[in-house]
Amino acid sequence: MAQNAAGNGNKKVFTDDVSLVISGAAGKGILTIINVLTKTLKQSGFHVFATNEYMSRIRGGTNSAEIRVSSKRVSAFINRIDILVPLDKGAIPHLKERITKDTVILGDKGQAAADIPMTDIPFGNIALDLGKSVFENVVAAGTLLGLFGIKPELLDEVLKGQFGSKGEEIVKKNIEAGRAGLEKGQALAKAGTVRIELIPDKNVANELFLNGTEALGIGAISGGCDFISSYPMSPATGVLTFIAQQSKEFDIVIDQAEDEIAAINAGLGAWYAGARAMVTTSGGGFALMTEGVSLSGMIETPIVIHIGQRPGPATGLPTRTEQGDLSFAVYSGHGDFPRIVLAPGTIKDATVLTHKAFNLADRFQIPVFILSDQFFLDSYTTCPDLEVEKLPVERFITKTAKDYKRYKLTSDGISPRGIPGYGEGLVCVDSDEHDETGHITESEAVRNAMMDKRLVKKAAAILKEAIPPQIIGSKDYSTIIVGWGSTHSAIAEAIENLGRKDVAFLYFTQVFPLQAGVADTIKKAKNMILVENNASGQFGKILQLATGMVPHHKILKSSGAPFTVEELVEDFRRLIK
C-alpha cells in the first residue's frame, strides 16, 4: 500500500496509511506505548499492524517498534517512517538509514543533533510535572493519539485496562499523562503541523487483534491439544506461555521440561497414551530433539513440533528473525521416514494450519512441523473472526481386539493406532525394527516390508493430501514470485504496489512434501523469482528436488531483519522485464 501524504513546508497530511515508529532503550516503556496505541487505535476503527525489533539484553541498547495505521488492512513491515518518537539520544542514530526529509520527528530536542529538524515536545518534562518521569511513555502515546483525533474517554478506558492492577492512584496519574499528551497532539493537528485524515471503519473495533504466537496457540487448542511439553527458548516461548494461560479453561497439561530431549519424549509418551501433544522450540533447542523425531518415525507415534525460527548458527541473533530452519526440519533425524512441514504466513493461516497439524499427525502417525519465525510470532494485526468452531477435530484411534497388530501391513501404509487400555489388545511399540505385533526383528523380509509401509506407501498417501500453494494476483502471469511463510505479507503488498497484470505470487503454506501440480503452475511463467529470508534459498532447493525447476532469480536476506515492502518493490522492478 502506497503512502498518501501531502507536504507543505514542515506540514504533513496523511490520508491513507501512516507509519509510526517509537524508539528508545530497553526499559523505557516502549511496550507500554505499543499496547496503548494499538488498543486505542483499533477500538477507534483503524486497521493496525505492529511489530518490533529489540536487542538481546534486559536493559539498555536501542529498540524500536513500528505501528502502521491504515484505512485498509495491512500486515507488512515497511522501511518508511512517517512519524518518529525518539525516547533517548540513541534512537535517531539507530534509525538514521530509515529517516528521510519527510519524516516528522516529535520529541525532546535534547534527544537529537542540532541539524535534525524536530518538533519539540518535552515528554520527560511533562511527565515530571505530573510527578514521575515514568509517565513519559504515556505522554508520548497520548500525543500520537491526539493526531488521530481520538476521544479522551476512549483513551481513559484503555489506560484503566492497562494499569488497573496497579491501583487507583497509578491509573489516575496515567490518565492525566495520557490527556496531557492528547492535548499536545490535538494542538499539532489544529496547527496543521501534522494532520492525519484516515477514514476509520467501525467494524474494525469488533475484530480480533492478534500476533502470530496467539494465533498458533488458538490453533493448537482448537485442534485438541491437551498436552504441551517444552523447554523455554525465544521466540517460541510465547506459544508455551499462551497455552499455559488457557490451560485451566481447556484442561491442558503443561510440562516445562528440564530440556528439549525430555520435552519431545514426553510429547511422544502423551500421544502413545491417547493425548494430543505439541512441543514448541527454536532451532538450537530442536537440535536436541532430533533423536525424538526419529523415534516418532520408527514407532509411528504422532507429534506436532513448532519451531520458532531465529538466525543461527548456534546462538546467532537470538532476538532477530530468519527462515533458516527449513532444511533442518525437512532432513532432521536419522533414517528415512515421512513428515509434513507447514509454514503459515497470515494470522488465519497460523490458526488453521496449526489446527490441521494435529489432524494430520493423528491420521498419518508422523511428526508434523509448524515453522514460524520471530517476526511473524511477535507481530500484531487486526483480523476478522477466525471461526475456529468450523474447524473439524479428526481423531484416528482404534479400539483394539485381542489379535490387534500395532504395525499391521496395509495398502496405504497406515496401521490402526490403538492406545493402552482401550480394547483388549496389546499396544506394543519398539524403537528397534519390529514386526506387525511390535516385537523386535532382524528379518530382512520384515525390514523391507516395514520400510515399504512406513516410507513408500504412507508417503504416497500423505502426498495425495498435500496442501496446494495459493496463486495471489494475476492468473495470466508471465512472472511468478515464489515465497513461503512470513514473507507472505511483504510480497503480496509489493506486488499490489507494482500494479502489473503479468505478475503473480505463488504462496506456499505446505513446504514439504510439495503438492504434485506445483511444476505445472510454475511452467506457465517465463520468469520465476524466489524470495526467502535466509542465506541459501532453502525452499528453492526443495522445489528443485521436487520439480527439477530452478528459480531464474533469488532475493535472499539473512541480516536478521524481515523484508520491507519497499526493497521488494525495487528488486521486482529490477528483475521483471
Residue 451 pLDDT > 80 = yes
Cell of 54: 529489540
**Residue 254 DSSP symbol:** E
Residue 7 pLDDT > 90 = no
Cell of 362: 493423528
Residue 182 pLDDT > 80 = yes
Between CA 571 and CA 569 the distance in angstroms is 6
Q: Classify burial at 449, counting beta carbons within 10 Å of its beta carbon; exposed 0-12, middle 13-18, buried 19 or more.
A: middle
pLDDT in tens, 323-333: 999 999 999 99
Cell of 520: 505445472
Residue 6 pLDDT > 80 = no
Q: Classify burial at 68, counting beta carbons within 10 Å of its beta carbon; exposed 0-12, middle 13-18, buried 19 or more.
A: buried
Greater pLDDT, 115 or 191: 191
Between CA 345 and CA 489 the distance in angstroms is 7
Query: For the chain, what's the residue count?
Result: 577
Greater pLDDT, 58 or 360: 360
pLDDT in tens, 285-320: 999 999 999 999 999 999 999 999 999 999 999 999
Q: Average pLDDT, whole number, for the chain?
A: 95
Q: What is the pLDDT of residue 134?
A: 87
Domains of the chain: 5-205 (3.40.920.10), 212-382 (3.40.50.970), 397-465 (no CATH), 470-575 (3.40.50.920)
Order of strands, sheet of 11-14, starting from the edge strand that comes earlier in the sequence: 5-8, 11-14, 194-196
Between CA 382 and CA 403 the distance in angstroms is 54
Between CA 435 and CA 443 the distance in angstroms is 9
Between CA 242 and CA 234 the distance in angstroms is 13
CA contacts within 13 A on the Cβ side of 119: 23
Tell me the mean pLDDT in the region 497-511.
97
Tell me the mean pLDDT in the region 374-402.
97
pLDDT in tens, 560-575: 999 999 999 999 999 9
Greater pLDDT, 76 or 30: 76
Residue 156 pLDDT > 50 = yes
Contact 486, 533 (CB under 8 A): yes
Q: What is the pLDDT of residue 27?
A: 78
Tell me the mean pLDDT in the region 423-446.
97
Greater pLDDT, 295 or 25: 295
For residue 183, what is the enclosing H or E element?
Answer: helix 168-191
Residue 255 phi, psi (nearest 5): -125, 105
Q: What is the pLDDT of residue 59?
A: 75
Tell me which residue of 533, 490, 567 sits closest to 76, measured CA to CA.
490
The sign of the torsion formed by the CA atoms of 164, 168, 171, 175 equals positive
Residue 114 pLDDT > 70 = no
Contact 159, 174 (CB under 8 A): yes
Q: How confident is the model at residue 107 (pLDDT cuts 50, 70, 90)?
A: very high
Between CA 107 and CA 473 the distance in angstroms is 41
Lowest mean pLDDT across 36-45, 59-68, 309-318, 410-419: 59-68
Q: How confident is the model at residue 504 (pLDDT cuts 50, 70, 90)?
A: very high
Lowest mean pLDDT across 4-13, 306-315, 381-390: 4-13
Residue 1 pLDDT > 50 = no
Between CA 184 and CA 121 the distance in angstroms is 8
The sign of the torsion formed by the CA atoms of 223, 227, 230, 235 equals positive
Distances (CA, A) of 394 to 175, 361, 412, 487, 521: 49, 10, 18, 30, 31
Q: What is the pLDDT of residue 462?
A: 98
Between CA 297 and CA 268 the distance in angstroms is 11
Between CA 86 and CA 102 the distance in angstroms is 16
Tell me which residue of 368, 291, 296 sits closest to 332, measured CA to CA.
291
Which residues contact residue 68 at a Cβ distance below 8 angstroms, ignoring those fewer than 6 apart? 17, 18, 19, 20, 48, 49, 50, 74, 78
Between CA 534 and CA 191 the distance in angstroms is 46
Give the rounded percent of residues in the chain with a pLDDT score beyond 70.
98
Q: What is the pLDDT of residue 56?
A: 85
Residue 406 pLDDT > 50 = yes
Q: What is the pLDDT of residue 113?
A: 67
